[in-house]
Amino acid sequence: MQPIEFQDPAEATHWQAVNDDVMGGVSQSDFQVENGKGIFHGELSLENGGGFASVRRAPHPPLQQVLAVADGVRLKVRGDGRTYQLRLKSHDLDDSSAYRARFTPKTDAWETIDLPWQAFEAVCRGRLLSDAPTLDPARIHRLGFLIADRRAGTFRLEVSRIESLNSH
């Protein structure tokens, strides 16, 4: 896939926060681009039955064609010791569902994380969907990041690159 990089500050305009306020929660998040990296940050709150924060990128036109022949997604990230999810929206699932893969990036250095398709599982509001179809990369139309680790407090995930994983 054409890598998603963060050299242009205008990349931030393609990302939208979706937090637990959609169900009464009070978590907050934002996505900014500075110094060549995307930064997903905010504060997770467990109040009012909440506990998640997320950002998603506007559809990226060549995404489907390139991911259809890829082996997964490769991230270059730096974290804060917390576990995050890469979420993939597919035309095969309803709007409240997604495929997720969890990852816990290092805090002291940039790290490349490979997420092969087999690492993704279908979920709806955090619950596994046992009857969902297997992820078909050609049907992916959106991606994003989510944190829902049941730990209140601030979080920060830095991303310098998102690209297709190709083993051939």
Taking residue 158's Cβ as centre, other Cβ atoms within 10 Å add up to 19
pLDDT bucket at 3, cuts 50 / 70 / 90:
confident
Mean pLDDT, residues 127-148: 95
Residues 82-108 pLDDT 10s:
999 999 999 999 999 999 999 999 998
Q: 98: closest CA among 138, 131, 125? A: 125
Q: What integer pLDDT is reported at residue 22 of this predicted model? A: 84
Per-domain boundaries in the chain: 4-165
65/105: higher pLDDT? 105
Q: Read off the pLDDT band of 68 (50, 70, 90).
A: confident
Q: Residue 106: how many CB atoms within 10 A of its CB?
A: 13
* Residue appearing with tokens 């049941």: 150
pTM for the model: 0.95
CATH class of 4-165: mainly beta
pLDDT band at 59 (very low <50, low <70, confident <90, very high): confident
Burial pattern 54-93, b for ≥16 Cβ within 10 A else e, equals bbbbeebeebbebbeebbbbbbbbbbbebebbbbbbbebb
Percent of the chain whose pLDDT exceeds 90: 83
Average pLDDT over residues 55-67: 79
Residue 118 · residue 129 · CB < 8 Å: no
Q: Dihedral through CA 13, CA 18, CA 24, CA 29, nearest 10?
A: -70
- On the question of pLDDT at 58 being above 90, the answer is no
Q: Which two tokens stand for residue 111?
A: 């790290």
Rounded mean pLDDT of 117-140?
95
- For residue 165, give the nearest of 110, 115, 120 by alpha carbon: 115
CA distance 59 to 120: 19
